[in-house]
Amino acid sequence: MASTGLQLMGLVLALLGWVCGALVCAAPLWRVSAFVGGELVIAQVLWEGLWMNCLSQTTGQIQCKTYDSTLALPMFTQAARSLTVLSLLLCLLAIILGVSGAKCTHCMGDNNQDTKARLGRIAGVLFIVAGLAYLIPICGTAYAIIRDFYDPNIAAPLKRELGPALYLGWGASIMLLVGGSLLHVGSPPPGVTTSSFKFLETARSLSTRGYSEPNRFHSIIKLSLFC
Protein backbone atom coordinates (compact mmCIF):
# COMPACT_ATOMS: atom_id res chain seq x y z
CA MET A 1 0.00 0.00 0.00
CA ALA A 2 2.85 2.38 0.78
CA SER A 3 4.40 1.89 -2.66
CA THR A 4 1.01 2.46 -4.31
CA GLY A 5 0.67 5.76 -2.47
CA LEU A 6 4.14 6.82 -3.60
CA GLN A 7 3.26 5.94 -7.18
CA LEU A 8 0.05 7.96 -7.11
CA MET A 9 1.74 10.93 -5.48
CA GLY A 10 4.57 10.81 -8.01
CA LEU A 11 2.18 10.61 -10.95
CA VAL A 12 0.08 13.51 -9.68
CA LEU A 13 3.13 15.73 -9.10
CA ALA A 14 4.62 14.82 -12.47
CA LEU A 15 1.31 15.47 -14.23
CA LEU A 16 1.05 18.91 -12.60
CA GLY A 17 4.63 19.62 -13.60
CA TRP A 18 3.86 18.63 -17.19
CA VAL A 19 0.82 20.94 -17.35
CA CYS A 20 2.76 23.85 -15.84
CA GLY A 21 5.64 23.17 -18.23
CA ALA A 22 3.31 23.33 -21.23
CA LEU A 23 1.93 26.67 -20.02
CA VAL A 24 5.43 28.05 -19.50
CA CYS A 25 6.53 26.91 -22.94
CA ALA A 26 3.66 28.77 -24.63
CA ALA A 27 3.65 31.86 -22.40
CA PRO A 28 5.39 35.04 -23.70
CA LEU A 29 6.43 36.07 -20.16
CA TRP A 30 10.00 34.83 -20.01
CA ARG A 31 11.50 38.33 -20.31
CA VAL A 32 9.76 41.51 -19.16
CA SER A 33 10.78 45.14 -19.65
CA ALA A 34 12.84 46.43 -16.72
CA PHE A 35 11.81 49.69 -15.07
CA VAL A 36 15.28 51.08 -14.42
CA GLY A 37 14.84 54.58 -15.81
CA GLY A 38 13.69 57.71 -14.07
CA GLU A 39 10.28 57.71 -15.73
CA LEU A 40 7.28 57.40 -13.45
CA VAL A 41 4.83 56.46 -16.18
CA ILE A 42 5.61 53.58 -18.50
CA ALA A 43 3.43 53.62 -21.59
CA GLN A 44 4.46 50.24 -22.97
CA VAL A 45 5.69 46.96 -21.51
CA LEU A 46 7.42 44.37 -23.68
CA TRP A 47 6.99 40.67 -23.04
CA GLU A 48 9.25 38.12 -24.69
CA GLY A 49 8.90 34.35 -24.88
CA LEU A 50 10.15 31.41 -26.87
CA TRP A 51 7.57 31.66 -29.63
CA MET A 52 6.30 35.25 -29.63
CA ASN A 53 6.66 38.70 -28.12
CA CYS A 54 3.83 40.93 -26.90
CA LEU A 55 3.48 44.66 -26.36
CA SER A 56 1.21 45.71 -23.52
CA GLN A 57 0.01 49.30 -23.32
CA THR A 58 -1.44 51.29 -20.44
CA THR A 59 -4.77 51.42 -22.26
CA GLY A 60 -5.14 47.66 -21.81
CA GLN A 61 -4.41 46.68 -25.37
CA ILE A 62 -2.02 43.80 -25.95
CA GLN A 63 -0.51 43.06 -29.34
CA CYS A 64 1.34 39.78 -29.86
CA LYS A 65 3.38 38.61 -32.81
CA THR A 66 5.14 35.34 -33.44
CA TYR A 67 8.74 35.37 -34.55
CA ASP A 68 9.04 35.59 -38.33
CA SER A 69 11.99 33.23 -38.70
CA THR A 70 13.26 30.48 -36.45
CA LEU A 71 16.73 30.51 -37.98
CA ALA A 72 17.07 34.25 -37.30
CA LEU A 73 16.69 33.69 -33.56
CA PRO A 74 19.73 33.40 -31.27
CA MET A 75 21.19 29.95 -30.86
CA PHE A 76 20.24 29.80 -27.20
CA THR A 77 16.58 30.51 -27.99
CA GLN A 78 16.56 27.73 -30.59
CA ALA A 79 18.16 25.34 -28.10
CA ALA A 80 15.65 26.38 -25.42
CA ARG A 81 12.81 25.62 -27.79
CA SER A 82 14.20 22.18 -28.54
CA LEU A 83 14.80 21.32 -24.89
CA THR A 84 11.36 22.40 -23.72
CA VAL A 85 9.58 20.51 -26.49
CA LEU A 86 11.75 17.43 -25.85
CA SER A 87 10.96 17.65 -22.14
CA LEU A 88 7.21 17.81 -22.78
CA LEU A 89 7.37 14.82 -25.15
CA LEU A 90 9.34 12.81 -22.59
CA CYS A 91 6.73 13.68 -19.98
CA LEU A 92 3.96 12.47 -22.28
CA LEU A 93 5.74 9.15 -22.81
CA ALA A 94 6.45 8.86 -19.08
CA ILE A 95 2.78 9.46 -18.23
CA ILE A 96 1.70 6.64 -20.54
CA LEU A 97 4.28 4.26 -19.05
CA GLY A 98 3.56 5.40 -15.49
CA VAL A 99 -0.18 4.84 -15.78
CA SER A 100 0.41 1.44 -17.40
CA GLY A 101 2.84 0.42 -14.66
CA ALA A 102 0.87 1.72 -11.68
CA LYS A 103 -0.34 -0.92 -9.25
CA CYS A 104 -3.79 0.63 -9.01
CA THR A 105 -4.46 0.14 -12.75
CA HIS A 106 -5.25 -3.02 -14.69
CA CYS A 107 -3.75 -2.07 -18.04
CA MET A 108 -1.46 -5.10 -18.16
CA GLY A 109 -3.35 -7.41 -15.83
CA ASP A 110 -2.54 -8.36 -12.27
CA ASN A 111 -0.12 -11.18 -13.14
CA ASN A 112 2.57 -8.96 -14.70
CA GLN A 113 3.83 -7.24 -11.56
CA ASP A 114 7.46 -7.46 -12.65
CA THR A 115 6.72 -5.76 -15.97
CA LYS A 116 4.55 -3.11 -14.32
CA ALA A 117 7.26 -2.34 -11.77
CA ARG A 118 9.82 -2.03 -14.57
CA LEU A 119 7.55 0.36 -16.47
CA GLY A 120 7.09 2.45 -13.33
CA ARG A 121 10.83 2.76 -12.79
CA ILE A 122 11.38 3.70 -16.44
CA ALA A 123 8.65 6.34 -16.18
CA GLY A 124 10.28 7.77 -13.07
CA VAL A 125 13.64 8.06 -14.82
CA LEU A 126 11.99 9.75 -17.82
CA PHE A 127 10.33 12.29 -15.56
CA ILE A 128 13.67 13.07 -13.91
CA VAL A 129 15.39 13.49 -17.29
CA ALA A 130 12.52 15.71 -18.46
CA GLY A 131 12.82 17.86 -15.35
CA LEU A 132 16.55 18.33 -15.88
CA ALA A 133 16.04 19.10 -19.57
CA TYR A 134 13.42 21.70 -18.69
CA LEU A 135 15.63 23.23 -16.00
CA ILE A 136 18.45 24.02 -18.44
CA PRO A 137 16.65 26.69 -20.58
CA ILE A 138 14.98 28.20 -17.48
CA CYS A 139 18.27 28.65 -15.62
CA GLY A 140 20.10 29.73 -18.79
CA THR A 141 17.52 32.43 -19.54
CA ALA A 142 17.59 33.68 -15.96
CA TYR A 143 21.39 33.86 -16.04
CA ALA A 144 21.37 35.83 -19.29
CA ILE A 145 18.78 38.29 -17.95
CA ILE A 146 20.69 38.91 -14.72
CA ARG A 147 24.01 39.25 -16.57
CA ASP A 148 22.60 41.82 -19.01
CA PHE A 149 20.78 43.70 -16.25
CA TYR A 150 24.01 44.46 -14.38
CA ASP A 151 26.03 45.13 -17.55
CA PRO A 152 26.73 48.89 -17.72
CA ASN A 153 27.34 48.71 -21.47
CA ILE A 154 23.70 47.82 -22.17
CA ALA A 155 21.25 50.71 -22.37
CA ALA A 156 18.42 50.90 -19.86
CA PRO A 157 15.59 50.41 -22.41
CA LEU A 158 17.19 47.13 -23.50
CA LYS A 159 17.43 45.64 -20.02
CA ARG A 160 14.99 42.90 -19.02
CA GLU A 161 13.75 41.36 -15.80
CA LEU A 162 12.78 37.84 -14.84
CA GLY A 163 9.30 37.10 -16.08
CA PRO A 164 6.62 35.15 -14.17
CA ALA A 165 7.01 32.22 -16.56
CA LEU A 166 10.52 31.53 -15.26
CA TYR A 167 9.30 31.14 -11.67
CA LEU A 168 6.52 28.82 -12.82
CA GLY A 169 9.12 26.92 -14.86
CA TRP A 170 11.26 26.37 -11.78
CA GLY A 171 8.22 25.02 -9.97
CA ALA A 172 7.40 22.72 -12.89
CA SER A 173 10.95 21.36 -12.95
CA ILE A 174 10.88 20.66 -9.20
CA MET A 175 7.53 18.87 -9.51
CA LEU A 176 8.89 16.72 -12.34
CA LEU A 177 12.03 15.82 -10.41
CA VAL A 178 10.20 15.04 -7.16
CA GLY A 179 7.39 13.21 -8.94
CA GLY A 180 9.82 11.09 -10.94
CA SER A 181 11.79 10.21 -7.81
CA LEU A 182 8.65 9.17 -5.92
CA LEU A 183 7.45 7.10 -8.86
CA HIS A 184 10.80 5.35 -9.16
CA VAL A 185 11.01 4.62 -5.43
CA GLY A 186 7.40 3.46 -5.31
CA SER A 187 7.91 0.93 -8.13
CA PRO A 188 10.27 -1.72 -6.71
CA PRO A 189 10.22 -5.31 -7.96
CA PRO A 190 7.78 -7.56 -6.08
CA GLY A 191 10.60 -9.55 -4.51
CA VAL A 192 12.24 -6.44 -3.11
CA THR A 193 8.98 -5.26 -1.66
CA THR A 194 8.37 -8.59 0.05
CA SER A 195 11.83 -8.82 1.59
CA SER A 196 11.77 -5.23 2.80
CA PHE A 197 8.51 -5.63 4.70
CA LYS A 198 9.22 -9.19 5.96
CA PHE A 199 11.46 -7.92 8.74
CA LEU A 200 8.89 -5.39 9.99
CA GLU A 201 6.02 -7.87 9.92
CA THR A 202 7.99 -10.55 11.80
CA ALA A 203 9.28 -8.04 14.35
CA ARG A 204 5.71 -6.92 14.97
CA SER A 205 4.57 -10.52 15.42
CA LEU A 206 7.42 -11.20 17.87
CA SER A 207 6.47 -8.17 19.92
CA THR A 208 2.91 -9.47 20.32
CA ARG A 209 4.06 -12.90 21.54
CA GLY A 210 5.35 -13.81 24.98
CA TYR A 211 9.05 -13.80 24.14
CA SER A 212 11.49 -12.50 26.67
CA GLU A 213 13.59 -9.51 25.72
CA PRO A 214 16.89 -11.42 25.05
CA ASN A 215 15.17 -14.09 22.95
CA ARG A 216 13.24 -11.48 21.01
CA PHE A 217 16.43 -9.50 20.38
CA HIS A 218 18.33 -12.57 19.12
CA SER A 219 15.42 -13.56 16.88
CA ILE A 220 15.29 -10.13 15.30
CA ILE A 221 19.07 -10.15 14.69
CA LYS A 222 18.90 -13.58 13.03
CA LEU A 223 15.99 -12.48 10.88
CA SER A 224 17.80 -9.33 9.76
CA LEU A 225 20.87 -11.33 8.80
CA PHE A 226 18.71 -13.79 6.89
CA CYS A 227 16.98 -11.00 4.94
Give start and end residues of each alpha helix (H) in the chain. Answer: 2-26, 75-101, 113-149, 164-185, 190-208, 213-226
The per-residue pLDDT for 171 is 95
The per-residue pLDDT for 4 is 77
The per-residue pLDDT for 142 is 95
The residue ranges of the chain whose pLDDT is under 70 are 1-2, 36-43, 106-112, 189-227
Q: Which residues, in sequence order, are CB contacts of 165 under 8 Å at separation 6+?
A: 23, 24, 27, 28, 29, 30, 49
The per-residue pLDDT for 218 is 47
Instruction: Give just the sign of the alpha carbon dihedral 101, 103, 106, 108.
Output: positive
The per-residue pLDDT for 109 is 59
The per-residue pLDDT for 63 is 87
Cβ contact 215:48 at 8 Å:
no
What is d(CA 48, CA 77) in angstroms, rounded to the nearest whole number? 11
Which residues are bridge partners to 48 per DSSP?
31, 53
What is d(CA 138, CA 140) in angstroms, rounded to the nearest whole number? 5
